[in-house]
Amino acid sequence: MAQHETLILTASCASRLGSVDAVTGYLREQGCYVVDMQTFDDARAGHFFIRTEFRRPEQGEFDETNFRDGFALRAADFDMDWELTERKRKPNVVIMVSKFDHCLNDLLYRYRTGQLAIEIPAIISNHPDLQRLADWHHIPFYHLPVNADTKEEQEEQIWQIVQESNADLVVLARYMQVLSPELCNRLAGWAINIHHSLLPGFKGAQPYHQAYAKGVKLVGATAHYINNELDEGPIITQGIQTVDHSHYPEDLVAKGKDIECLTLAKAIQYHIEKRVFMYQSKTVVLGS
């Protein structure tokens, strides 16, 4: 049976004896074969996480409603938070972007070739520059310019598009606007941002030029869920690459763009495959 015909069951609960069996024992009872499983027990926090991917029974019909009802009873004994997802389902991903097109280009290529199993019902931008790119992919493009006076109205338009698109995930693919606390709260846990990751942290304009002036030896990128703290949400993935004195600012920018593309795509992949658990102020990523 093909991998995309499987289902994914994720769960988390306080660390307790029998928590693994609560999941795997139930799957066995239902005649479901586990094809992949990862677990993590956070000894410091006293919390347990599990992700299982399984096949439907080969004999008889699989009634998902009965499966859910039965597992809900089992999960209640452990006060589990859990979710069941069909592997073949393609989530709706709304992409937000400004003028930099490298991350958008990369995501559209992965979408077009099937490397990312997603649907893209909308691309939102505060600039018109990437309209033709969206049109070429036959994806609706929404140009929503913004300034200090129109920010509240523009964000309401963004939220309306997200809702009408039945979005499962929002991706800020170099969207160069700071979202309001209100919109951040609405999107908490299901909006991913990407930005450069340089040590020390170079703030403001032309960070790679600042890094060059300091002789930086590493460039990188960070993908994280958004929150009200600018670029400091729970981290999903990070990427780095070494550089040296021979890399001029333009070289650092080019390498940074490549790392941003890879890091963002990996974060989206982990999210849609249900590998990311939000717990307290950080993430647990299983099977990465």
| Single-letter residue type at 172 | L
Q: How far apart are CA 13 and CA 81, in angstroms?
A: 6
pLDDT higher than 60, residue 2: no
Question: In the chain, what are the domains?
Answer: 3-86 (3.30.70.260), 92-285 (3.40.50.170)
Backbone angles phi, psi at 60, to 5 degrees: 80, 175
Q: How far apart are CA 88 and CA 117, in angstroms?
A: 8
Structure confidence at residue 1 as a pLDDT band (50, 70, 90): very low
Task: Measure the CA–CA gap between 278 and 280, rounded to whole angstroms.
Answer: 7
Catalytic residue, candidates 101, 231, 251, 258: 231
The Cα 24–Cα 21 span in angstroms is 5
Whether residue 133 has pLDDT greater than 80: yes
Average pLDDT value for residue range 179-185:
93
Where do we find the tokens 């020390």? Answer: 200
Q: Is 69 a catalytic residue?
A: no
The string of pLDDT tens digits covering residues 41-91 is 999 999 999 999 999 998 778 899 999 999 999 999 999 999 999 999 999
Q: Is the pLDDT of residue 231 over 90?
A: no
The pTM assigned to this predicted structure is: 0.93
Q: Which amino acid type is present at position 4?
A: H
233 has pLDDT over 50: yes
Element (H, E) at 266: helix 249-272
DSSP-derived pairing of the beta strands 119-125 and 92-97: parallel
Answer yes or no: are the C-beta atoms of 55 and 33 closer than 8 Å: yes
